[in-house]
Amino acid sequence: MNSKKYVFTALFAALISIGCVIAVPLPGGVPITVQNLFAILAGGILGSFYGGASVLVWMIIGAVGIPVFANAHGGLAIILGPTGGYMWGYALGSLFLGLVLGRPKITENKKDIKFILKIAILALIAYVLVYLPGIPYFMHVMAGKGKPQTFENALKLTFIPFIPGDLIKWLITIPLTATLRPIAARYLEAEEQENRN
């Protein structure tokens, strides 16, 4: 039984949830939080399945009303609201990074420059992927509310203000992913070895 994988999944779901406490509200209605940082880290450290699963667990917890979304809100209405697309974007970014980096391995070296560059490039793409469902869904919901947004205006409200914060989170993601992947692998591979014996 891969109990440690479930523990790591739950841990990252908890970190994403705790990230809702740190939120800076912006005029567009989409606050700056560290939740995407933890979501992307989940995929980078655990791999696609368990990283993505941690994001989905967080979304389910929030959907049933537990206040784990930005500004400590909860409920299905938040997922269906203007910011809902970004939550699916968290899952998309996490799945992408985990899928391309693959399962963590003990042999990965945090000082290997090629490894670091690989993480840097892929993590940057993962952060951009958050906006792929986020911006169109924001426009869709706002139009349904009678407040249609042009693509240019949507970028001004839901993308451009977040660039500095996302760049900082991206820079944090690189060393954390490189350092924690082999540590996570050590625990996970040890458990797999125990299960085989």
Which of 82, 80, 67 is closest to 35 using CA atoms?
67
Which of 132, 129, 131, 126 is closest to 177 using CA atoms?
126
- The enclosing H or E element of 24 equals strand 23-24
Q: CA–CA separation, 195 vs 1, rounded Å?
A: 7
128 CB-near residues (< 8 Å, 6+ apart): none
Backbone angles phi, psi at 84, to 5 degrees: -60, -35
Residue 135 and residue 82 in contact, taking contact as beta carbons nearer than 8 Å: no
Both tokens of 137, joined, read 């869904």
pLDDT value of position 27: 66
Residue 69 is classified by DSSP as B
172 CB-near residues (< 8 Å, 6+ apart): 37
For the chain, state the CA radius of gyration: 17
Residue 34 is classified by DSSP as S
Which of 174, 132, 185 is closest to 154 using CA atoms?
132
Q: What angle do CA 32, 38, 43 make, to 5 degrees?
A: 130
pLDDT tens for the chain, 197 residues: list them.
468 889 999 999 999 999 888 767 766 666 677 999 999 999 999 998 899 999 999 999 999 999 999 878 999 999 999 989 999 999 999 999 999 999 999 999 988 999 999 999 999 999 999 999 999 999 999 999 999 999 999 999 899 988 988 999 999 999 999 999 999 998 887 666 666 65
pLDDT value of position 11: 94
